[in-house]
Amino acid sequence: MKSWFGTIKTAFFIIIALTLAPSLLRNLKDTYVDLAKVKTKIGRVTIDSLVIDAEPTVKTLKKLFEDSEVKAILLKIECRGGYPGSCQAIFSELQELKKESPKPVVALVENMCASGGYYIACAADRIIATKGSIIGSIGVTFSTGFNVKELAQQHHVQTYTVSSGKYKTVMNPFEAPTPEQLAMLQAVSDDNYQQFVTDVAKTRKLSPQTKDVWADGKIFTGQQALELHLIDEIGSYTQAVSYIKTMAPIEGALEWVEPDHELSLVERFLGTSPGGRRPFVAHVIAQAAQQIRQEIQMSACL
């Protein structure tokens, strides 16, 4: 009886093994062939939210520029803007990294590359966008937040502020800004705008004298932006890859490299954002928090 049961057991495992063997061998073959192929690494960096912190993007860019096996970088931008300092930091770091370790950088836009997002794109060697994308919005918004002075008075809420310096309370939501304070904010906004225009004009080889045509907060379709020389080409991934192949020493197939952190079990369970950098739930919450912060906190925004 035991001998008969053992025979059936052995036969069962043999059948399973024979069933799985072709698939396993095929996978091993595909893996071997894939490893044997000559590939060229191309870095890919995604900027797909309001830019309020340059550090994560700058760290990723540095890793890619320092990796000698990475021959070019694709900067995928779907961004409506951000804080001036953060956008300028990425713009400046990208320019410096290109000097230290020259590599072709292509900015690719499918839907939106506006304001601070466009500021960053200007540091690329080439900007490629679809015809219907939104490009431009070269301007500055200074969000002064809410003034709730009258609302507080209606509910008999009294506030007290002790300050030194007549401009210090400009951020106080319980006090209306004075004409002098508003003039100060306008001066800050104008200076940020001038810096923005200067950098765009220099990198895109445009005349600052014609800024009222291509800047002034205006937005354009990709087709219009091409005519104004705000972008270099109409297209998508095919055109971006084609440019990379003409500018970088490419051998074999392209291998896309995105040096993001290893996702935890919880992160894998929750899912990730389009950029793959954070859990999807955290991505949504962060986006909402950024919007609230922009509306409530006084800050210049590109």
Assign a CATH topology to domain 39-140+188-301.
2-enoyl-CoA Hydratase; Chain A, domain 1 (3.90.226)
Find the catalytic residue in 115, 133, 137, 273.
115
pLDDT at 25: 57
Q: What is the pLDDT of residues 262-289, one digit of tens each?
A: 444 444 444 444 444 445 455 555 555 5
Say yes or no to pLDDT of 141 above 90.
no
pLDDT at 166: 87
Is 115 one of the annotated active-site residues of the chain? yes
DSSP state letters, 166-231: TTGGGG-TTSPPPHHHHHHHHHHHHHHHHHHHHHHHHHHT--GGGHHHH-TT-EEEHHHHHHTTSS
Query: Average pLDDT, stretch 239-249?
Result: 91
Find the catalytic residue in 29, 37, 59, 168.
168
Q: Which uninterrupted H or E stretch holds 151?
A: helix 149-154
Query: Average pLDDT, stretch 51-76?
Result: 94
DSSP-assigned beta bridge partners for residue 73: 43, 105
Q: How confident is the model at residue 151 (pLDDT cuts 50, 70, 90)?
A: low
- Name the 3-class secondary structure at 98: helix
Mean pLDDT score of the chain? 81
CA distance linking residue 82 with residue 85, whole number of Å: 9
State which amino acid sits at residue 82: G
pTM for this one? Answer: 0.76
- Identify the residue with better confidence: 211 or 249: 211
pLDDT at 60: 95
Domain segments of the chain as ranges: 1-36, 39-140+188-301
- C-alpha dihedral sign at 240, 243, 245, 248: negative
Q: What is the pLDDT of residues 22-35, one digit of tens each?
A: 666 565 555 554 54
